[in-house]
Amino acid sequence: MPETYDVIIIGAGVQGASLAFHMAQHGVKATVLEKQFVGAGATGRSSGLVRMHYDTEVDARLAWESFQYFCNWKEMVGGDCGFTRTGFIQIVNPALQDMLKANVTMHQRIGIPTLVITAEDVKRLAPAFSVTDFEFAAYEPESGYAMPSDTTNALLEAARRGGARLLQGCLVTGIVAKNGKITGVETTLGDYYAPIVVNAAGAWAGQINRMVGLDLPYDTWRHDTMFVRRPAEIGPSHPTVIDFPKEMYFRPEGRLTLVGLEDGNPLGESPDSDTDHAKNGFVERAIERICQRIPYMEKGGLHSAHGGYDGITPDQHPLLGTVGPEGFYLDCGHSGTGFKTAPAVGCCMAELILDGASKTVDISALAPGRFSEGRYVKGNYHNIWK
């Protein structure tokens, strides 16, 4: 007889782990099915930025709720998420500075510690930065980065203490529905029954959606990052930065600096492509940009570079909610920014699944049916990824 579970979550990335954790908080024992190992997808490659600066309220609220977890991890989850406070700076082109100010006002209304600072202030915070191409930035003194694999493992450990189950090396090959209701999944380890199945399969989530006949707009998004060794002239560290003028972000990690680019992230590739190496040309472009912002980086050296795949949607916002057969839920399409929001997304998804609506943050704007209804989530910047 196939085993029967209350809830099956497909994917042991940070999203599946967070949902399993929050389900356990409600006394529901979820089973997480993972085709490879914990953090094998985008999560294991994530840059781990933890900041609240967003141009939509739903994102900022999800990031802010999640921030409470990152800052109080031991008490709220247990184990360690590796949160490191570096301060966060959002740099924008002069054309976007009114939008930046409006966003900071929105963040302050939510309660997020943030303020608008000038380019001279940025120079005081980070003396090695060149600040000639912008006038204003947003500053979040409490923000920084965390360790995605540690975060995910800690969430899963806590979930398992609460009765959750994790099956690794378990590829979901089919989803079974009868009379419009989910009844379970087929996997390489056998069939499992459950009335609720959650698709948290990241870049592979489009494949899972098709297993229930859903053809939602959904793509894969490739993103490369590199670590460079910082020369001593830059000092012991620097803030975490999203840098719109240079279409780049970067953050410190010990004596290294991690760099990612906002442009040149290909869509539509197989998520099973090589991620151990960055694409040709990425390192050269990234080095040029980081040297423009931090000229001393010319004395730095390349440490390593690799890539990863996430799921992306047309408005670069996740699909959160139910669609298709009764009992089928989506927690996917995190579009390159779903690490920092995972603690709150899992909380909201658990509320939605168990109570019919999320109350911690209203995530109804992110419902999977929005595209067929012509609704797109739009902020006052542009889509971050090009």
Ligand X SMILES: Cc1cc2nc3c(=O)[nH]c(=O)nc-3n(C[C@H](O)[C@H](O)[C@H](O)COP(=O)(O)OP(=O)(O)OC[C@H]3O[C@@H](n4cnc5c(N)ncnc54)[C@H](O)[C@@H]3O)c2cc1C
What is d(CA 334, CA 329) in angstroms, rounded to the nearest whole number? 14
Name 208's Cβ contacts closer than 8 Å, sequence gap at least 6.
Answer: 10, 172, 175, 199, 201, 332
CB of 124 to ligand X, least distance (A): 25
- Cβ atoms within 10 Å, residue 157: 18
How far apart CA 156 and CA 167 sit, in angstroms, is: 11
CA 101 → CA 54, 85, 117, 249, distances in Å? 12, 23, 10, 20
Which of 337, 363, 384, 385 contacts ligand X by CB under 6 A? 337
Task: Find the part of the chain contacting ligand X (CB under 6 A) among 81-89, 128-136, 196-204, 296-304.
Answer: 196-204
Q: Report the number of secondary-structure helices (H) and strands (E) in the chain.
A: 10, 21
Burial (Cβ within 10 Å: 0-12, 13-18, ≥19) of residue 298: exposed
Rounded to the nearest 10 degrees, the angle between the axes of helix 148-161 and helix 342-355 is 30
> Using the rule CB under 6 A, is 225 a contact of ligand X?
yes
Tell whether residue 223 is a contact of ligand X (CB under 6 A): yes
Q: What are the residues whose beta carbons fall under 8 Å from the beta carbon of 258, sequence distance 6 or more?
A: 47, 225, 226, 227, 250, 251, 252
Q: Which of 16, 82 has the CB closer to ligand X?
A: 16
The tokens for 44 are: 């294991």
Q: Does 346 bind ligand X (CB under 6 A)?
A: no
Among 15, 66, 209, 220, binds ligand X (CB under 6 A): 15
Q: Write the binding mask 297 to 336 for ligand X: x where contact by CB under 6 A, - elsewhere.
A: -----------x-x---------------------x-x-x
CB 226 within 8 A of CB 37: no
172 binds ligand X (CB under 6 A): yes
One character per residue 242-261, x = contact with ligand X (rule: CB under 6 A)? --------------------
CB of 250 to ligand X, least distance (A): 10
Judged by CB under 6 A, does residue 12 bind ligand X?
yes
Between 35 and 64, how does the x/- string for binding to ligand X read (CB under 6 A)? xx---xxxx-xxxxx---------------
383: contact with ligand X by CB under 6 A: no
Touching ligand X, residues 66-125 (CB under 6 A) = none
> Which residues of this protein are in contact with ligand X, per CB under 6 A?
10-16, 33-36, 40-43, 45-49, 171-172, 200-204, 208, 223, 225, 308, 310, 332, 334, 336-340
